[in-house]
Homo-oligomer: A and B are copies of this chain.
Amino acid sequence: MATPVALSTNVQTETLDLSRLVDPRSIAVIGASDRPNSLGARSVANLLDHSDFQGTPYLISRTKQSIHGLDCYQSVTDLPEAPDVAMLVVPAAQTLQVLEDCAGRGVRYAIVFTSGFGEMGEEGKRAEQEMARIGRESGMRIYGPNSPGLCNLNKRLGMMFSPSFQIDQLPGPIGLATQGGGIGRCFLQAMERGVGVGLWASTGNEVDLTVADFMRYMADADDIEVIATTMEGIKDGPKFVEAALYAAERGKPVVALKVGRSEYGARAVASHTGSLSGAAEVNSAVLRQAGVVEVDDMDELIDTAALFARKRPTGGERVAIYGFSGGGCALTADAVGEAGLELTAFSEQTLAAIGSVLPDYAAITNPVDATSDILARPEIGHESLKQVAEDPGAGVVLYPFPCDYGELTGQIGESIAQVQRETDTPIVPIWMSDRLGEGYDALVKGGLVPVRSIKRGTKALSRWIERGRWSVDPDWSPLPAGRTGGDLVTFTEPAVKSFLASHGVTVPPSGRADTADKAVDVAENLGYPVVMKIVNSQITHKSDMGGVEVNLRSAADVRLAFDRIAAAAVAAGVTTDEVLVESMAPAGIDVLVGVTADPVFGPVMTFGLGGIFVELFNDVSRRMLPLTPAQARSLIDEPKCAALLRGLRGSGPADVEALADLMVAVSRFVETNSGRIEELELNPVRVLPAGQGVIALDAVLVMNETNGDAL
C-alpha cells in the first residue's frame, strides 16, 4: 500500500494513501453488540445511526445472529469480501488472534480500540511488538491500540465507540491528529466557538500508523487546510519532520502541542500511551525548524489553528485595535506591545473617516476607543470598524469585549460579523467575560471564533504572524533516523582536530612532542607565543588538572610548561605520551558549537556563547542536522548573545560568515559519519574580527568505533 513518490522538492520519501481507511467502502465491526451502553453497541450505533456511511457494513458477533436488523457473521474469516476497515471491539486477550484473522482475511486497516498494552508495562509492549509483526508480514495497517477510533467529520463517518460522536460534529477545514482521546475531543468541542474539524485521527499507542502518517495524508487531502496535532511521543523524528515539511510545501500549516515536555509530564505520558519523550528544548527547536507552530496548551492549539483556518498570514501583518471600552483597548494595546507585535498607524484618510463618524470623545488613533456610544448606535460602530479593517496598514483587527451587555452587545456582534463579510482583514474578537451572551453567539455564528482572553488573542496572533515569515528551505531535508551499533570511543584532541581540519574546519597550526626538546622545536617552527596541552582522551577538563599552558613566549617557557604538565599528569594519575603544541590564537569572541545525538531526531547542533551564558541563561539555539548555510546563519542569529558577535558598544562585528561556514563543515562531517556520532563539541571556537576567520581551539568527539578509519 505504501507507494514511493518523488516530490517536487526536498522531501523524498514514500507516502501513504490512507483514503480507504478514512473513507472506506466496507467496514467490519468485530465485537458488535446490542447490549445497551456496551462499546460494541455504541460502535454499531455510531456507524449505522449517526454516520452517513454509504459503503457496506459487516457486523461480527460470536453470540448474536443479527443486530440492528443486520445479519451477523461469526468471524471476520467468514466475510464474503475483504473489508477495507475492521474495527476491533474485543478484549485485550483476544486482540492478537483477531488481528491474525483480519490479516488472513485481507483486511486493509485494523482499528484497535482496546487498551491495556504498552501503557501497562513490559507484557503489553511485547503484545504490541506482535501486532506490529502481524501488520508488517501481512501488509495490513494497524491503527491503535488504545485508541478512541477515527472520525471523518467532513464525510460524517464515525469509526469510534464514544457516544459523543453524535454530538461533537462540526465539519471544517482543520485536520486533527492526536494520540490521546480526551484532548482530541477537547479540540472537537471548540465547535462551540465555531471551530470545525474535518478529520480526527487519534492513533493511541501507534504500533503502526502514527500521527506523522496522518499529517502526510492530511497534507494531500483536499478537504483539509490546516493540521493541528498533539503528540505524546514521536517514534521517528525524521519521519515526523518530513511529514511537516511535506504539509508546508502544500501550503498547510501545522500547529502542534507536545505532551510530556517536563519531567513530570514525560512520566505521565509513559503511563498513558507508553510513549517516550525526547528533550523538550530539542523538540521545540526542531518543530520550529520544520515550520511547525508549537503551542503550550489546548486552548492555544485551538485558537492558533482556527486563526490559520481563517486566513494565511504574510508575516508582515500590523495590528489595529478597536473596541468600546477604553480599559479593554488599553489592555489589548499592552498585550500587543508585550508580544512584540506592531500597531499600525492609520492613514490620514482612515483617521478622517472614523473621526467624522465617531463622537468627539472617542479615541481614533490606534487603538480606536469608539466608546459605549456604539452600543446605542451600532451603525456608527459598523461604519468605523469597516474603515479600520480596510485601512491599508491593518493586517488584522483585535476587538476586545470586556463584558456582555445582552442585547446591546448582541447588536454589536451582528454588526462585526457583517463587517467581516464585507472585508478580507481578519477581525479577531476577544470575548473576555465569563458570560456568553447574544454578542458571543453572533460572533461564533459569523465564523469569527472569539478568543477568550487578551493574552490568548495576542499569543495566537504572534504565532500566526511569525509563521507567515517562515518558508520552506528547498535545500533541506533531515538525515534519516537510525544508528549503527558499536562501542563508544572518545578521541584525543589532536585526532579530532585532524578529522575536523580534513573537513574544512580551521584549527591552530600545531605539532606534537614527547619531550621538552621536541616541544621547543615545534614551538620554534610555529613561532611564539604558543599553547601547550596534555594529550589524553580520558581527561574531560584538561585545564582543571593543570594540563593546559598558555601564552608561552620562549623556549624556556616551553620547557618549564612541559615539566609542569608532566608533573600534573603524574599528580592526576594519568599517563600521557605527548603534548600538543599550538600557535596561540589572536583575540576574539569564544563560542560553543556542539552536536549531540538526540534519541528522536538524530544529530542536533547547539550554538551559544560558552560558560555562564549557557549555564545561567540557557542562551543557546539548536537545529536538527544537516545544516544549510541559511540555517547556520539563523542559528547564529537566534541567541541573545548574538548581539556580541554583531558588535556591541563600539567593538566591530565578528566573522559571522566564517562561523556559519564552520558550522556547515561540522554538519557535513557529521553527515559523512551518519548515525555514528554520539557527541561532538567544539568549545571554544574563537571568532575573529570580520574577514579574519574562526579557529576551533578545542574539540571533543565521542563516536561509534565500528569503522573508525572512514573518518
Partner-B contacts on A (CB < 8 A): 115-116, 119-120, 164, 167, 178-186, 188-193, 195, 230, 232, 257, 259-265, 267-269, 271-273, 296-300, 302, 321, 324-331, 333-338, 343, 361, 363, 365, 367, 369, 402-406, 432-435, 452-455, 544, 612, 615-617, 619, 640-641, 643-644, 648, 650
Contact A297 B455 (CB under 8 A): yes
Contact B327 A183 (CB under 8 A): yes
Contact B337 A262 (CB under 8 A): yes
Contact A337 B263 (CB under 8 A): yes
Contact A190 B337 (CB under 8 A): no
A-B contact pairs, 8 of them (CB 8 A): A181-B327, A182-B402, A193-B434, A262-B338, A268-B363, A298-B402, A298-B454, A616-B641
Chain B, residue nearest A642 (CB): B616
Query: With A265-B333, A435-B189, A452-B299 as given contacts, are A272 and B327 in contact (CB-CB < 8 Å)?
Result: yes
Query: With A404-B189, A648-B612 as given contacts, are A232 and B327 in contact (CB-CB < 8 Å)?
Result: yes
Interchain CA distance A273-B331 in the complex, whole Å: 13
Interchain CA distance A267-B343 in the complex, whole Å: 12
Contact B338 A186 (CB under 8 A): no
Contact A338 B261 (CB under 8 A): yes
Contact A189 B268 (CB under 8 A): no
In the assembled complex, the CB of A648 is this many whole angstroms from the nearest CB of chain B, namely 7
Contact B403 A453 (CB under 8 A): no
Partner of A330 from B265, B297, B617 at Cβ < 8 Å: B265
In the assembled complex, the CB of A418 is this many whole angstroms from the nearest CB of chain B, namely 23
In the assembled complex, the CB of A27 is this many whole angstroms from the nearest CB of chain B, namely 24
In the assembled complex, the CB of A165 is this many whole angstroms from the nearest CB of chain B, namely 12
In the assembled complex, the CB of A514 is this many whole angstroms from the nearest CB of chain B, namely 31
Contact B272 A182 (CB under 8 A): no
In the assembled complex, the CB of A381 is this many whole angstroms from the nearest CB of chain B, namely 15
Query: With A189-B434, A190-B434, A433-B189 as given contacts, are A272 and B329 in contact (CB-CB < 8 Å)?
Result: yes
Partner of A297 from B178, B268, B331 at Cβ < 8 Å: B331
- Kindly list chain B residues whose C-beta atoms are within 8 Å of the C-beta of A299: 432, 452-453, 455
Query: With A186-B433, A326-B182 as given contacts, are A343 and B264 in contact (CB-CB < 8 Å)?
Result: yes
In the assembled complex, the CB of A55 is this many whole angstroms from the nearest CB of chain B, namely 29
Interchain CA distance A74-B615 in the complex, whole Å: 75
- Kindly list chain B residues whose C-beta atoms are within 8 Å of the C-beta of A269: 330
Query: With A164-B403, A334-B261, A338-B262 as given contacts, are A268 and B640 in contact (CB-CB < 8 Å)?
Result: no
Contact B264 A402 (CB under 8 A): no
- Kindly list chain B residues whose C-beta atoms are within 8 Å of the C-beta of A298: 331, 402, 432, 453-454
Interchain CA distance A216-B368 in the complex, whole Å: 34
Query: With A182-B402, A185-B403, A403-B185 as given contacts, are A268 and B452 in contact (CB-CB < 8 Å)?
Result: no
Interchain CA distance A433-B589 in the complex, whole Å: 51
Contact A648 B452 (CB under 8 A): no
Interchain CA distance A72-B322 in the complex, whole Å: 41
Interchain CA distance A616-B646 in the complex, whole Å: 12
A-B pairs, top 3 by smallest CB distance, nearest first, are A262-B337, A180-B327, A182-B325
- Kindly list chain B residues whose C-beta atoms are within 8 Å of the C-beta of A268: 321, 326, 329-330, 333-334, 363, 367, 369
Contact B434 A328 (CB under 8 A): no
- Kindly list chain B residues whose C-beta atoms are within 8 Å of the C-beta of A263: 337
- Kindly list chain B residues whose C-beta atoms are within 8 Å of the C-beta of A230: 327
Interchain CA distance A321-B259 in the complex, whole Å: 15
- Kindly list chain B residues whose C-beta atoms are within 8 Å of the C-beta of A260: 330, 334
Query: With A120-B361, A261-B338, A262-B338 as given contacts, are A333 and B297 in contact (CB-CB < 8 Å)?
Result: no
Interchain CA distance A423-B402 in the complex, whole Å: 35
- Kindly list chain B residues whose C-beta atoms are within 8 Å of the C-beta of A404: 189
- Kindly list chain B residues whose C-beta atoms are within 8 Å of the C-beta of A262: 333-338
- Kindly list chain B residues whose C-beta atoms are within 8 Å of the C-beta of A363: 268, 271-272
Partner of A265 from B119, B185, B331, B406 at Cβ < 8 Å: B331
Residue of A300, A406, A434 most packed against chain B (CB within 10 A): A434
Partner of A326 from B116, B271, B406, B435 at Cβ < 8 Å: B271
Interchain CA distance A361-B124 in the complex, whole Å: 11
Residue of A189, A300, A367, A619 most packed against chain B (CB within 10 A): A189
- Kindly list chain B residues whose C-beta atoms are within 8 Å of the C-beta of A648: 612, 615
In the assembled complex, the CB of A164 is this many whole angstroms from the nearest CB of chain B, namely 6
Partner of A192 from B195, B435, B453, B612 at Cβ < 8 Å: B435
Extra 14 A-B pairs, beta carbons < 8 Å, given A190-B433, A259-B331: A182-B328, A182-B403, A183-B325, A185-B402, A189-B434, A232-B330, A257-B331, A264-B367, A265-B333, A265-B337, A273-B326, A299-B453, A615-B643, A617-B640
Chain B, residue nearest A325 (CB): B182
Partner of A361 from B115, B184, B644, B650 at Cβ < 8 Å: B115
In the assembled complex, the CB of A269 is this many whole angstroms from the nearest CB of chain B, namely 5
- Kindly list chain B residues whose C-beta atoms are within 8 Å of the C-beta of A367: 264, 268
Contact B455 A452 (CB under 8 A): no
Query: With A299-B432, A329-B272, A432-B299 as given contacts, are A186 and B361 in contact (CB-CB < 8 Å)?
Result: no
Partner of A640 from B257, B272, B616, B643 at Cβ < 8 Å: B616
In the assembled complex, the CB of A299 is this many whole angstroms from the nearest CB of chain B, namely 4
Chain B, residue nearest A650 (CB): B544
- Kindly list chain B residues whose C-beta atoms are within 8 Å of the C-beta of A619: 617
- Kindly list chain B residues whose C-beta atoms are within 8 Å of the C-beta of A452: 299, 452
Chain B, residue nearest A618 (CB): B640
Interchain CA distance A190-B404 in the complex, whole Å: 11
- Kindly list chain B residues whose C-beta atoms are within 8 Å of the C-beta of A612: 641, 643-644, 648
Residue of A268, A272, A333 most packed against chain B (CB within 10 A): A268
Chain B, residue nearest A262 (CB): B337
In the assembled complex, the CB of A215 is this many whole angstroms from the nearest CB of chain B, namely 18
Chain B, residue nearest A202 (CB): B327
Interchain CA distance A95-B324 in the complex, whole Å: 24
